[in-house]
Amino acid sequence: MLLSIIRLTSGQTCYDTGNFTTNSTYGKNRDLFLSSLASNVTANKGFYTSTIGQIPDAVYGLALCRGDSTPESCASCLNFTVRDMMKNCPNQKEAISWGGMDFPCVVRYSNRSFFGKLELKPTEVNHNINNITSSLTQFDRIWRSLMDRVLAKASSGNSKLKFATEEANLTSSETIYALMQCTPDISQSDCEFCLRQSMADLQSCCYGKKGSYVLGPSCIFRWEMYPFYGATADSLSPSPLSPPSTTTDTTTTKDKGGNSISSGTVIIIVVSTSIFIIALVALVTCVFLRRRKQKQDLTKADEINTVESLQFDFSTIRDATNNFSTDNKLGQGGFGAVYKGRLSHGQEIAVKRLSKNSVQGELEFKNEVLLVARLQHRNLVRLLGFSFEGTERLLIYEF
């Protein structure tokens, strides 16, 4: 299938395969997919697919975070990418973005189903400006051996994660670092083919460079001459300061008037000063902790009021969706079905009915609702509230 594409910025592509109009059914379905993407992806270990709506207005969506991302960096990348896509591809029926290079993520939606299908285009390719200075013959041998190992590990992953990293020494002072990942919905053979094509792309465009990457719809591949994956907050934090060493001075010192001061007097002065400083620090700490606790209590009270104000009566939502009728069903995602409904005062809503096998308790569910509410963006579908009864968990969005 040949597709025409419009490239706007590095890492993002809007397909020129058709547009939708503002407030159209397709547009609302697209916005519904993007609105809670970060929470859905992080809850599903970094990979999420969903189908919203019915043909011809169905939206097929996929999101993937890099295998070494933390939940925080994954959510941050997704939120940034969604805002960027809404801005640069506001009315395109199909788009893809790879986020940023520090912790990239893939966000893709379309009006055609692409789940489980290998797609090699479009791609984003780039390379380091510096050149390899060691023997290219030696480099080629070590580079290819390393990439073959990483490719084998990544492609042999499971339906949840196809990701691998590894490094190899080029010289005593230089190391090659490699990362490969496929979308978990494609087969092992398709993943291997995609990554080998990416290797060929880099060999043809970027041979001899000190690092490069290729980003595609079905796989990503990056290698560098420096570590760029797996960094954690702990490894980046400074080491704790060492306490000052203490020595005992048994000599006698003199004051300005020439009078001698015994070592015992010096010790008493030092100890007294230390006790005073410790007491002062303890007092300041107690005052700080007491004020922080007061602020936390106020914040907690505000959060409780916020959460309670978002809660809908379960029977109200059940009536609005005609008891979750199949005629009202918009689509099915990885965490449950989505239904269209109408409140008694006429407002249209979209209701996500979460899977009943969820292990979330009432408190965890309320906390997640509060998190999603805080992540609202003016270009996304607004979260109106939530409802629950027994094992039922509902999220209510503007439609």
Of residues 304, 276, 289, 301, the one with CA closest to residue 363 = 304
> What CA–CA distance (Å, rounded) separates 212 from 210?
7
3-state secondary structure of 238: coil
> What CA–CA distance (Å, rounded) separates 164 from 192?
12
Of residues 330, 389, 332, the one with CA closest to residue 365 = 389
Strands of the 219-224 sheet, one edge to the other: 124-127, 211-215, 219-224, 175-182, 162-169
> What CA–CA distance (Å, rounded) separates 68 from 70?
7
352 is in an annotated binding site: yes
Hey, how many other C-beta atoms are within 10 angstroms of the C-beta on 307? 18
Of residues 112, 122, 105, 119, the one with CA closest to residue 37 = 105
Hey, how many other C-beta atoms are within 10 angstroms of the C-beta on 60? 21
Question: DSSP labels for 323-383?
Answer: TT-GGGEEEEETTEEEEEEE-TTS-EEEEEEE-TT----HHHHHHHHHHHHHT--TTSPPE
Tokens at residue 310, please? Answer: 């978002």
Q: Give the HSE-up count for residue 187: Cα atoms under 13 Å, Cβ half-sphere.
A: 5
> What CA–CA distance (Å, rounded) separates 42 from 75?
7
3-state secondary structure of 4: coil
> What CA–CA distance (Å, rounded) separates 229 from 217?
21
Radius of gyration of the CA atoms of the chain, in A: 29
* Residue 16 one-letter amino acid: D
Q: Which residue ranges make up the annotated binding site?
A: 352
Q: Which residue ranges make up the annotated binding site for ATP?
A: 352
